[in-house]
Structure 1
Amino acid sequence: MANVDQDSNLDGATEGSSNANAPLKRNSDDPGWNCGTLCDPLNKDAIKCKLCGFICKAGITRLKYHVSGLKGNGVAICKNASKEDKAVCVALLENPKEDKIAKRKREEEMRAEVEIEVEDNEFYAGSKKKRRSNLRPLDKFTNPINPEGPFLNMRQQNLLDALSKERTHSVHQFCARWMYESGVPFHSIDNDAFEKFVEAVGQYGRGYCPPSQYLLREPLLKEEVERTKGLLKKQEEESACNGCSVMIDGWTDRKRRSIMNFCVNSKEGTTFHSSIECSTDSHTGQFIFDYVDKCIEDVGAQNVIQVVTDNAANNLAAAKLLIEKRPNMFWTSCAAYTIDLMLEAIGKEGKFKEWIAKAKNLTIFIYAHHWTLALMRKFTKCKDIVRPGVTRFATTFLTLQSLMEKQEKLKTYVY
C-alpha cells in the first residue's frame, strides 16, 4: 500500500508540475494568446507579454496593440517584438475593423432598399381619407416618446437618426418589452427583414397602425408567397441553364409522423420544393420512385442531373427504377449519410469502442444526478460536456472532443 501511495503521489506531483508550467490563458481561440499569458488565474485582464515581460491590465486587445507597435493607443510598445509578431497583431486588429465597416455598409445598403413613396399629404393605414402631415422639423427632438399617451404624442422614431441616447433607450425598451411579452426569440433582432421593417416605420412617421390578424393570414401572406416565387426565378433560370440536383430527405417529427421532403439544389443555392406526410404508407422502392418521379416532372426532367438520397435499401430499389426510366440521370448517395456510417464503423473498433463506452458511462452518471450536474457546471463555468450533433454518431465523437477540451477542469471536479 505504501508503494502504491508513493507512486500516486509522484504521479500527482508530475501532473501538478506540468500544469504549473503550462501557460495560463482564457478559454479562447484568439491567436493573440500566443504572445501573452495570464498573470493571475483570478484576474482575467492582467496579461503578461511573453516577449518582453510587460504586464497589460486591460485585456488581450491591449496586448495586441502593445505587440503591434501601433502608436496612439495608450499602451507601451513592445521592444522585443519581431516583424512577424507585429504583422500578426496588426492583422488581428484590422480584421474586426474591416468586419465592422462591411457590416455598416451592408446595413446602409439594406436600409437604402426600403423606400416609402409619399406625397405632401399622407394617408391613414386602411383609410381613403387624406390627412395633413403634422410633422415639424424639431418635433422629433422635443416630443417625448410615449405610445400610451395621446395620439399627437405617439411617435415612431428612426433609430439611426435619434440624437438623444435617452430617447433611443426608450425605443429600445418598448421593442424589448414587445419581444419579452410575445416570446420572440432574441436572435430575431438580427433578422434583415426586421431591420427593414424598422426603417420602413421610421420613414412612415407617426400614426402607423400594424396589420390585423386577417391581413397577416390572408392577403399579406399571399402577396409574400408571390414575392417568394419571384425570387426563385433566378434559381429556375440557373437550373435551366446548368442543371440541378434534387435531394430527398425522410425524417420523423416529435409526433412520430413520417415526412418526406423534396429540395432542389443549384449553383444559386438550395430551395424547398414540397413535402408529403407518409405515415400510413409503406416506404417501398416503388412508393419513393413514384414521388421522386412526380417531383422531377414538376422541376423539369431536362433540368435534373442527379438525385441525392441516403443508402437505405428502399432508396436503392427506387434508384434502379429511376435509372431504367431515366438513364441520363445519376443517383448519388448522400455524403453526410456516408460520413455518419463511417463514424459508426469507427466507433465499433475495439480501441474506440472501449473509450466511447467509458465516456458514455461518465456522462450518464453526471447527467443522471442533479447535484453532480450542478457541480460539473460549476467547474466548467456552466458549459456542458455533451455536444449534440446532427446525428447520433456525430454526437458521440463531438462529446469525446468536448471531454478532451475540458479534461483539466473535470480532473479538478473529480478530485
Structure 2
Amino acid sequence: MLVAGKGGECRWKECAPKTGVTSWDEVNVLKRNSDDVGWEYGFLVDANNKDKVECKKSTQEAKDKCKKSLEDSKRKRKEQAARELELREEVNVSWVGTEDDEVICVGTIPFNACDNDEFKQMCEAIGQFGSRLEPPSLRDLRESLLDEEYARTKSLLQEHEAEKVKNGFVSSKEMSDVSHTSEVIFELVDKAIEDIGPDDVVQVVTDNASNNMGAKKLLLEKRPNIF
C-alpha cells in the first residue's frame, strides 16, 4: 500500500510479506493479463501459481462491481446455451454441405483447409461417433487439447533430433509467441551464420514476405558476400 510521509510525499510499504512484493511494478507483474474485473482488486501471491490470489480490502462499490460482473457472465452462459440448443434444432442431415460452407465462411477459415487430411479425418471421426457429439470448448482448444498436441509434436521431433546428431543439423527455434519482424528474423539468421562460420555460408533462402525482405536488406548491409 502507499503511505503518506512528511511533506506529502508517498512511499511504498510492503503489504504482502509472503510474496516479497515491494513495488508497484512487481505488483503489476503478479496481475493476470485479463479483462476480468476481479484483477482490479487482486494479484497473484506467486507468479507461477495462478490459483493463489490475494486481494486488498474492498469497498462496497467494488463488491457491487464484481457481483454485477459475475451476474453478466452467468447471463451470457445461459444465452450461449440457449443459442446452442437453437442451432441443434435447426440442423437437418440434408443440409450438411450447406452447413460446412456456412461454418467456413462465417468463421473466415481458408477454403483450402478442406484439403487437409486432418479435416477429412475430423469429418470421418464425427460421422463414426454419431449424433450428440459435444464439440470442444474454446478453453479445451486453448489449454488441454493444445497441450496434448504439443506433447505429440514434441515426440515426433525425436526422430529429427536423431537426424541432427547424424547430419549435423544446426538448430531450430520455437517462435509462436514472438512477433516475426525483420529485425528478429535478421538476428536469428545472422546468429546461425555466425555459428556455422561466415566463410562457410554463401546463400540464405526465404520466401518473399515483406519481413523476410526487410531481413534480407539488413543481412546484405552486414554481410555483402551472402546471396
Tell me which interval the TM-score lies in, with the shorter structure as reference length. 0.3 to 0.5
Q: Which has the higher contact order (CA 8 A, sep 6+)?
A: 2
TM-score by length of 1: 0.25
Structure that is richer in strand per residue: 1
* Higher relative helix content: 2
